[in-house]
């Protein structure tokens, strides 16, 4: 559970009692400089993993952030529906 | 730092591309590249034998972003260029990517004759129902009654049914997919790349800026949902169901599958 850093997060999530499926099985990578903020990835995600971001890239587009990566089931719909080659999903080993 | 799985087929220094936010062309190109990647990984295709020929339009910009050989040719004349490339070097796997204005409008005549010859090409027509790059004028594929910038009272014309047109000319493979169903584009492209003769795949694609905004969809997601609602998948559709109608929607599926000899086989070049 080395990926869970921070005292606050450690208080909320207990690695001992949390069921193993709560741990992220997939890593969602967003390439900020390619994003154009169309919102399709957020819309198509069946598990509501992504959320509209608050930070903007150099062109002023607010790229999405994977807010709930532990819910990701790896269907890659966000990757398939991204017109800008800006998001992809890889399994965590 | 890992990279996007399709980066090896893209000229990444040219990204982000010029297509508008929410444009379907990027989705279609990604699905086509994934199908190519599957064929390459199976050993059926070599990246150095791939050629992508495009004409003019938004879709034609795809030739600039792919890392394998490509040609960005004159308006509507992508199919003759591609035929020439294939005849000069039959080893090549030649693909034509174009919009509906490029393939069915300006280049409609070339489409007809390439299909009639069963020329060994894969043609992708990305249908967004208007001439988007020039400002949203009426296109041959605009459904009847549709508002465009040149038909403010609704389009009085009947749209050309490209699926039927190509099928009746004797093309080997005719299918229709939609960018709201990227897995279908990938599957059809994968199948088409393993065939000979003329293969035609129409891809319905939302144009959120020039088409969607003009007819009242303020957001790319709204137009995406509308197109998804109108697209119905059928496993074995008949040609009679291939009409493109905005009110009743359209059918996605593989309309024609034949195994006729391609043009190169007929002239003894294979």
For the question of an ipTM over 0.95, the answer is no
Distances (CA, A) of B101 to A50, A65, A73, B118, B129: 36, 37, 39, 22, 8
Among chain B residues, CA nearest to A31: B4
- B152 burial (CB, 10 Å; 0-12 / 13-18 / 19+) is exposed
Measured between CB atoms, does A92 come within 8 Å of chain B? Answer: no
**Residues of B whose CB is below 8 A from A46:** none
Note the pLDDT tens digit of each residue in B117-144. Answer: 999 999 999 999 999 999 999 999 999 9
Look at residue B269 in the predicted model and tell me its pLDDT. Answer: 83
B27 touches chain A (CB under 8 A): yes
Which pLDDT score is estimated for B108? 92
Say if CB B57 and CB B98 are below 8 A apart: yes
Across residues B165-192, what is the average pLDDT? 95
Q: B27 and A31: CB-CB below 8 Å?
A: no
Q: Nearest-CA distance from B4 to chain A in Å?
A: 6
Determine contact, residues B29/B126, Cβ cutoff 8 Å.
no
Share above pLDDT 70 across residues of chain B, in percent, rounded to a whole number: 99
B110-to-B74, B106, B238 alpha-carbon distances in Å? 13, 9, 25
Q: Domain residues of chain B, as ranges?
A: 24-50+103-266
Q: B267 touching A, CB under 8 A?
A: no
Quote the strand ranges of B43-180, DSSP E: 50-54, 69-72, 93-99, 121-127, 130-131, 137-138, 173-178
Q: Please give the angle made by the CA atoms of B199, B204 and B207, to the nearest 5 degrees.
A: 135
Residue of B nearest to A28 (CA): B4
Question: What pLDDT is attached to residue A7?
Answer: 47
Structural domains of chain A in order of their starting residue, each with its CATH number: 20-91 (3.30.70.20)
pLDDT, average across residues B146-174: 94
pLDDT of residue B270: 80
Mean pLDDT for all residues in chain B: 93
- Closest CA of chain B from A35, distance in Å: 8
Over residues A16-40, the mean pLDDT reads: 84
For B11-66, write each residue's pLDDT tens digit: 999 989 999 999 999 999 999 999 999 999 999 999 999 999 999 999 999 999 99
B56 to chain A, any CB pair closer than 8 A? The answer is no
Interface probe for B, chosen from A42, A85, A90 (most Cβ of B below 10 Å), is A85
Contact B23 A83 (CB under 8 A): yes
User: Can you give the pLDDT at residue A23?
Assistant: 80
- CB of B45 within 8 Å of a chain A CB? The answer is no
């Amino acid at each position: 559970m080395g990926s869970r850093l921070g005292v606050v997060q450690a208080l909320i999530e207990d690695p001992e009692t949390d069921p193993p499926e709560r741990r992220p099985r997939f890593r969602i990578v967003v390439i900020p400089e390619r994003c154009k903020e169309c919102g399709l990835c957020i819309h198509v995600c069946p598990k509501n993993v992504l959320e509209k971001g608050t930070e903007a890239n150099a062109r002023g587009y607010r790229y999405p952030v994977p807010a709930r990566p532990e819910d990701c089931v790896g269907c890659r719909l966000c990757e398939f529906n991204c017109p800008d080659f800006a998001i992809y999903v890889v399994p965590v080993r | 730092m890992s990279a996007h799985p399709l980066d090896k087929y893209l000229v990444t220094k040219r990204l982000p591309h010029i297509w508008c936010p929410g444009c379907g062309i990027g989705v279609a190109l990604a699905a086509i590249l994934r199908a190519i990647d599957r064929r390459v990984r199976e050993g059926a295709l070599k990246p150095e034998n791939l050629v992508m020929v495009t004409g003019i339009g938004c879709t034609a910009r795809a030739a600039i972003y792919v890392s394998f050989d490509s040609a960005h040719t004159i308006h509507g004349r992508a199919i003759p260029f591609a035929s020439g490339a294939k005849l000069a070097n039959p080893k090549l796997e030649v693909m034509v990517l174009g919009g509906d204005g490029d393939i069915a409008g300006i280049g409609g005549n070339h489409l007809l004759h390439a299909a009639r010859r069963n020329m060994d090409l894969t043609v992708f027509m990305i249908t967004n129902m208007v001439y988007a790059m020039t400002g949203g004028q009426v296109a041959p594929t605009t459904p009847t009654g549709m508002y465009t910038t040149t038909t403010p009272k609704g389009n009085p014309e009947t749209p050309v049914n490209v699926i039927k047109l190509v099928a009746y000319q004797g093309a080997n493979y005719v299918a229709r997919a939609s960018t709201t169903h990227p897995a279908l584009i990938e599957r059809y492209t994968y199948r088409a790349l393993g065939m000979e003769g003329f293969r035609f795949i129409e891809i319905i694609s939302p144009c959120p800026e020039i088409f969607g905004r003009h007819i009242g969809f303020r957001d790319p997601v709204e137009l995406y949902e509308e197109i998804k609602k109108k697209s119905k998948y059928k496993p074995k559709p008949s040609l009679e169901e291939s009409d493109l109608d905005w009110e009743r929607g359209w059918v996605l599926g593989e309309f024609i599958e034949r195994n006729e000899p391609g043009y190169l086989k007929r002239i003894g070049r294979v």
